[in-house]
Structure 1
Amino acid sequence: MGEEKMADGAQIRAVADAVIDPEIELGLGVLGMIGAISIKDGTVDVTLALPVAAWPGADDLERTLGESLREIHTSGDVQVTRRVMTEDERLNLRATLRRMMSSEGDHGHAHGDPVPRFLDPESTTRVLGISSGKGGVGKSSVTVNLAIALAHAGKRVGVLDADVYGFSVPKMLGPLHDPIILGDTVLPTAVHGVRCLSMGFFVPDEQPVIWRGPMLHKAIQQFITEAYWGEPDFLVIDMPPGTGDVALTLSEVLPRVEMYVVTTPQPAAQRVAQRSAWAARKLKLSVRGVIENMSWFTGDDAKRYELFGSGGGEELAGALGVPLLGKIPFVPALREGGDQGSPITVTDTDCEVSRAFQELAERVIAQGPARVYRQELRLS
């Protein structure tokens, strides 16, 4: 056995503060989640202050904290005691997150209001709008599985379900908990390596959302600016079908959004999808590529059957002058995974569909951002 180690209070504090909370992905010290520390008769007792009683991953966090402390303190026991934060502590956490969310600048909102960091022109976050001209082409399924494929490629990813009237992303992702509310700040739900926010977390699944344009605009704006997204590499937005209010709102709030148009192989779907692309260009949004969904079905005889025709993706990409970035095969397991909250890119990472999404993610990453901010061109 090696020599036993006895840590002092400062060493215990330093190690405890450095443990990362997986829900917010910041150190416990920064978040104010380490409370009192006591050392008595060789036993270390550290208080873990949770923002809410049902804090996601609390058991794993407690275990990780204890293991980290036992690495530097082997001469006695290590205990982790949980408690819920006081209201003042929660307010301090909220203030910390708001500071980290915001970038004080004169190039975002009027009157010098703080703007989310990922909206800053200097931010490296790419915002991807997944759109279609009509419903039923699998746009939400593409959004969810592309986001997970990007996460599997090592990227930090957020998913915003902007289809306020027809939200489906929460059901497809199958999260174990809802977003957490800290005052006026929302913590998007973490699931399958991505963070997600949707109206579906805030209203019952069977309840319709009946709003006029201004209410819709306010909701989308709050999802973007009042949520702690951190600084993701990608924010993937599931757009509602068509060319309505949400596209207008996103063009105002997220002028750097890159549009990707989902279609199916049949010419009728291609013609409708083209309208959403032209609408995006009228709003001065960059259209980056076309994604063809339900391209073929592979039968038990290993032959490919084009159930919905062929050529729609190529034709649309040619008309728009953008690349056809991917073709996603039609597989029942893809639909079943969405219905059960178990995306196929999680449950079967080596199947034909998952490989198609991996290749799509690689092509999106390789494209790079549509617009690159250059510091030397900034007007002071």
Structure 2
Amino acid sequence: MTENRPAGHIEAQIYDRLSRVIDPELGRSVTDLGMIAAIDAVPTANAGADGNRYDVTVHVELTVPGCPLSETITNQINGAIASYPDATLVPHIEVGAMSRDKLDTLVADLKAERRQNPFNKPDTKTRIFAIASGKGGVGKSSVTANLAATFAALGYSTAAIDADIYGFSLPKLFGVTTQPTNLNGMLMPVTAWGVKLISIGMFAGADRAILWRGPRLQRSLEQFLSDVWWGEPDVLLLDLAPGTGDMAISVAQALPNAELVVVTTPQPSASDVAVRSGLVALQVPMKVRGVVENMSYYEHNGERLEIFGRGGGERVSAQLTSALGYDVPLLATLPLVPEVREVGESGRPAVLTPEGALASTTVATEFTRLARRLMAL
């Protein structure tokens, strides 16, 4: 027979187990965040012969009323209680919201801990890849979305910023229709397909034309970096606007450790312009990590049809290697696959199955190789 445990001992043991339950948005344990207001354990009325059965009530205070991740958190709490080995525990979760004063204190502590753009710390573990192109229409945003989804599916903690303020598209590509949660001025990124996302397209009024000039563009990026709680992702991707305008310069200033990935298509009209987006590295402290050639070929009845010509990625790679004085490799040649557009427009990156795993397709295989090669460089 299992030795009876006093209620106080059980409450302490449950609290210890709950310290391993992580809030999905803030990346901290629910105990560290002060979300566990109280734990009450009392013997049940029908405890049985050994009396080793308890009703356990956990009082949970979420950061905001109606938190979209409430069910996820309560399921994790139930799992932690159910795993207790020394007694039979019957869990009851009572969910409420933090008081304004308690939330103010929590947000102030989090902001004081971070203080500034978290990706500029010299000891940051985050690899930052800025996805750039010389012109629109080459599939830069599609590459960003599928690469981010691939990183997440491979087990990397992944975040993405839609830095194309005028032509934002990541919310649609990830099927996001909700707004970020606002914790007293600190935003929680929206998570979709395992990727933490932020985009101007998530906010009210974003369906109207955006007429911003340089200083406001720069401020938008600073807010995305400093006013959003990112935690410590392994990978951060930025979907840049085409060309070499204000946002590319702002990224270089705000994230000098960012690595540029240039996207092109095979035809000369695209590759010639793509070189210019890579040459921005001559003027700002960013390293060009490599080139991705998108829409390289179309597979038809076992034959590769080069619809847009050939050699664009190799031309960009060679010219940037010569101009920058270091190797800028051609990292990947991605096929032209209609499913990338069709599935992407439905709100799911084409590299993923409906269940969120990596698909067994050519495009998923190519993106997996690209992701692993980037992390190995």
Is the shorter-chain TM-score for this pair beyond 0.5, marking a shared fold?
A: yes
Contact residue 81 and residue 89 of structure 2 kept, 8 A: no
Q: Would the aligned equivalents of 1:172 and 1:338 in 2 still touch at CA under 8 Å?
A: yes
Flag structure 1 segments of 5+ consecutive residues without an equivalent: 103-113, 368-380
Counterparts in 2 of 1:86 and 1:317: CA distance versus 1, 3 Å: same
Matches within 5 A, 1:252-263: 252-263=253-264
Superposition TM-score, scaled by structure 1 size: 0.88
What is the CA–CA distance in structure 2 between the aligned matches of 1:284 and 1:10, rounded to whole Å?
51
Q: In the alignment, residue 344 of structure 2 is paired with which amino acid?
A: G
The match for 2:82 is 70
Identity value in percent: 39
SS at match of 1:8: helix
- Residue 88 (structure 1) shift: 1.5
CA distance in 2, matches of 1:32, 1:116: 25
Are 1:131 and 2:155 an aligned pair? no
1:81 matched to which residue of 2? 94
Alignment of 1:332 with 2:338, yes or no, is yes
Distance 1:86 1:247, change over 3 A: same
Number of the residue aligned with 2:239:
238
Out of 351, 354, 362, the position equivalent to 2:364 is 354
Partner of 1:108: none
Partner of 1:320: 320
Aligned position for 1:290: 291
Structure 2 letter corresponding to 1:311: G
Question: Normalization by structure 2: what TM-score?
Answer: 0.89
2:46 aligns with none
The aligned residue for residue 40 of structure 2 is 38
Q: Tell me the C-alpha RMSD between the 2 structures.
A: 1.8
Does residue 1:21 correspond to 2:23, yes or no? yes
Q: For residue 200 of structure 2, what is the aligned residue in structure 1? A: 199
Kindly indicate whether the alpha-carbon contact (under 8 Å) linking 2:133 and 2:277 is maintained by their aligned counterparts in 1: yes
8 Å Cα contact 1:31/1:96 also seen in 2: no
Residue in 1 that maps onto 2:108: 95
2:212 is matched with 211
Could you tell me how far 1:338 is from its partner in structure 2? Answer: 1.7
Q: Which moved more, 1:61-70 or 1:115-124?
A: 115-124
Check whether the contact 2:25–2:189 (CA below 8 A) recurs between aligned residues: no
Separation of aligned partners in 1, 2:264 and 2:2? 63
Q: Which has the larger radius of gyration?
A: 2
Once residues 234 and 310 of structure 1 are traced to their aligned partners in structure 2, the CA distance between those partners, rounded to angstroms, is: 31
- Give the corresponding residue for 1:374: none
1:342 to 2:352 alignment:
no
Compute the displacement of 1:284 (Å): 3.0
Q: Which amino acid letter does the alignment assign opposite residue 79 of structure 2?
A: E
Name structure 2 gaps, 5 residues minimum.
Answer: 44-53, 322-327
For residues 229 and 76 of structure 1, the distance between their equivalents in structure 2, rounded to whole angstroms, comes to 35
- What is the letter of the counterpart of residue 15 of structure 2? R
Could you tell me how far 1:4 is from its partner in structure 2? 7.1
* Total equivalences in the alignment: 354
CA distance in structure 2 between the partners assigned to 1:9 and 1:51 by the alignment? 23
1:260-318 deviation digits (Å, cap 9, x = unpaired): 1000000110001111111232223211100000011111x121111111100011101
Moved more, 41-50 or 303-312: 41-50
Corresponding position of 1:309: 309
Separation of aligned partners in 2, 1:17 and 1:34 = 10
| CA–CA separation in structure 2 for the residues paired with 1:76 and 1:30 | 23
